[in-house]
Structure 1
Amino acid sequence: MYAVIRTGGKQYRVKEGDHLKVEKLDYEEGDSISFDEVLAVSDDEDFKVGKPVLESAEVKAEVLEHGKNKKVEVFKFKAKKRYKKKTGHRQPFTRIKIDEIVGE
């Protein structure tokens, strides 16, 4: 059984037991969370798609940790003008574990 959820402006295909990194969520480590924006649910014989979400479906997960991704370096320069600028960015994330998919 798997589901397609939406969080942080992105869509993820998840199944029970998966560990994944999502955009930073405002929960403490060890908290249980529930994703209500379930776009699709599939079990062995049936596939249900919401318009745009399934009302009675939800995905329950546990927050494992918070952290930052690897640094993305941004380098700007203009040829023949002696202009160069180097900056970087580390995007925060939350690692979650999918505990249960409750379908319709």
Structure 2
Amino acid sequence: MYAIIATGGKQYKVSEGDEIRVEKLSAADGETVTFDQVLAVSTDDGLKAGADAAGATVTASVVTTGRAKKVIVAKYKRKTGYHKKNGHRQYFTQVKIDKINA
């Protein structure tokens, strides 16, 4: 059984027991989070999507929050002496999927 959820502008395919990294959520470590934007749910009866999956939810618990590895952004324009180097570390929340309520 799996579900496709949407959070942080991205879509994730999750099953019970999976650990995924999503965009930072405003929840502390150990708290329970409910994802109600479920796009599709796979059940024993088959795949439910759209309006059929409107009442489905996915319950997860927050494992940790942190920052990803640094991504280096370099800009360069030839013949002008223009060099710019910038770094970025994205915040994330790692969650463990506990239950899929179809």
TM > 0.5: yes
Q: What residue number does 2:95 align with? A: 96
Give the superposed CA RMSD.
Answer: 1.2
1:44-98 deviation line (CA, Å, top 9, x unaligned): 34110014x8321100000000011111101111111111010010010000000
Matched, 1:16 2:16: yes
Q: What residue number does 2:4 align with? A: 4
Matches within 5 A, 1:51-90: 51=51, 54-90=53-89
Unpaired runs of 5+ residues, structure 2, are none
Q: What residue number does 1:26 align with? A: 26
Query: Is the CA contact (8 Å cut-off) linking 1:37 and 1:54 kept in structure 2?
Result: no
Q: Helix, strand or coil: the match of 1:22?
A: strand
Give the total of aligned pairs: 102
Runs of 4 or more, structure 1, over 2 Å off, are none
Deviation of residue 7 (structure 1)?
Answer: 0.2
Unpaired runs of 5+ residues, structure 1, are none
TM-score by length of 2: 0.95
